[in-house]
A and B are shown apart, each in its own frame.
Chain A
Amino acid sequence: MADKNAILAGLAEIVEEETGLETEEVQLEKSFTEDLDIDSISMMTIVVNAEEKFDVKIPDEEVKNLTTVGDAVEYIANAQG
């Protein structure tokens, strides 16, 4: 099973690069739009970078279901198997 802490850390780096937010602010319960103020275009950039970093596929229709950072970590962990 993929290490969720490692996924969270990796995702936080991607979010920091795209938005300038500190990595510590990227926590599991945070909502991408409500808490982190990430818009739909930045979200797509984060998704594509996450696909590359974690070697997974995140289809467009799945992106709408990734409300929180935790949702994304969970999805990536499951996709990695």
Chain B
Amino acid sequence: MTTPATITLTPTTPVDATAVLGLGIHRPELLIDNEQICQWIDSSDEWIRQRTGIVTRHRAPAEVSVVDMAEKAAAEALEDAGIEGSQVDTVLVSTVTHPYQTPSAAAELADRIGATPAAAYDISAACAGYCYGIAQADALVRSGHAEHVLVVGVEKLSDFIDNYERSISFLLGDGAGAVVVGPSDSPGISASVIGSNGEKWTAVSMDNSLLRLRDALFDAQTTGDAATLLDREQKFWPTLRQDGQTVFRWAVWEMAKVAKQALEEAGIAASDLTAFVPHQANIRIIDELAKQLKLPHHVLVGRDIVDAGNTSAASIPLALHRLRAENPEISGGLALQIGFGAGLVYGAQVIRIP
């Protein structure tokens, strides 16, 4: 008789290397300029440009969902990779603005692109979500758990902001970026550096949990007083807030260390890079990070934020897509990408540009 201790289980069959095989994006059609922002906050176009670099941000109309945007970006990424949706066996969606606790955006997206029964789940790592997704996709493919992983960073932040709030709302936009990760003859994705610092949990966060809204609704039903629910000052609907100075300091000086570590883990120098694509949080963070890294002049720096604002998990693929569209010759070059945000969490790696 065979005893459990003598049975050998069959593990997955690893592959040596992975790469990003294709890239796609979606930018929603509504454009919000700084003049429109100044209807809500006491500011000016000049002030916003000088402090953030942002001139416009895209926002999606009410009827467009996170999954709608993800689907469009995914379609372009699949085409760019030259594969069908049915060849995708894992779908990872990084988002913090899918408005259902469950089910995931990834499961619906998998079905829409014809990938069912692919494994599908969402990643909650805010502005680092895309880099977390790449790290997971790389690990899943290399270990043999998956062959083609669709990684999507998508946000509809406009559903979770208070237009009258001054710390973060005016920075934010909507959008989606997607890539396909699959096996490769040579390594196209480096070791990733991913981590967190929960000590700064409140530095970027929602101002309230949904439970407060539930309790307020219950109270209003009990007392018959619904007027307070509509009071903007009560802020029952959770929206984003940040402590800008704390985040700026962390995003530049701590993230410069993470970016340098990612280069080290990849076994390359800054001079080997073709592009630097940091999360598009604020042009001054991007510029200061580039300065800290002492990037040579030939390294292109993603500055998509000027037109797209801060789109959280979508910002890196959006910025990379733009760099490649404007400079097709960078395809095949190396890009250092680093995401960082609410958690606080961070992720970075070097990829070969598809």
List A residues at the B interface (Cβ < 8 Å).
Answer: 39-41, 43-45, 47-48, 60, 63
Q: Which label, helix, strand, loop or mixed, suits the secondary structure of the A interface?
A: helix
List B residues at the A interface (Cβ < 8 Å).
Answer: 51, 243-246, 248-249, 252-253, 282, 284, 288
A45 pairs with B245, CB closer than 8 A: no
Contacts of B248 on A, CB cut-off 8 Å?
A: 40-41, 44
Q: How far is the CA of A63 from the CA of B249 in the complex (A)?
A: 11
Distance (Å) between the CB of A45 and the closest chain B CB? 7
Given A39-B51, A41-B51 in contact, is the A63-B253 Cβ separation under 8 Å?
A: no
Contacts of A45 on B, CB cut-off 8 Å?
A: 252, 288
Contacts of A44 on B, CB cut-off 8 Å?
A: 245, 248-249, 252
Most chain A beta-carbon neighbours within 10 Å: one of B244, B249, B284, B288: B249
Contacts of A39 on B, CB cut-off 8 Å?
A: 51
A41 pairs with B284, CB closer than 8 A: yes
Q: How far is the CA of A3 from the CA of B253 in the complex (A)?
A: 28
Q: Which label, helix, strand, loop or mixed, suits the secondary structure of the B interface?
A: helix
Q: How far is the CA of A39 from the CA of B243 in the complex (A)?
A: 14
B288 pairs with A40, CB closer than 8 A: no
Q: How far is the CA of A23 from the CA of B249 in the complex (A)?
A: 24
Q: How far is the CA of A60 from the CA of B244 in the complex (A)?
A: 11
A63 pairs with B245, CB closer than 8 A: yes
Pick the residue among B246, B282, B284 that contacts A60 (CB under 8 A): B246
Distance (Å) between the CB of B257 and the closest chain A CB? 13
Q: How far is the CA of A63 from the CA of B51 in the complex (A)?
A: 19
User: Can you sample 9 A-B contacts with CB below 8 Å?
Assistant: A39-B51, A40-B244, A41-B282, A44-B249, A44-B252, A45-B252, A48-B249, A60-B243, A63-B245
Q: A41-B282, A45-B252, A47-B249 are in contact. List 8 more A-B contacts (CB 8 A).
A: A40-B244, A41-B284, A48-B249, A60-B243, A60-B245, A60-B246, A60-B249, A63-B245
Most chain B beta-carbon neighbours within 10 Å: one of A43, A44, A45: A44
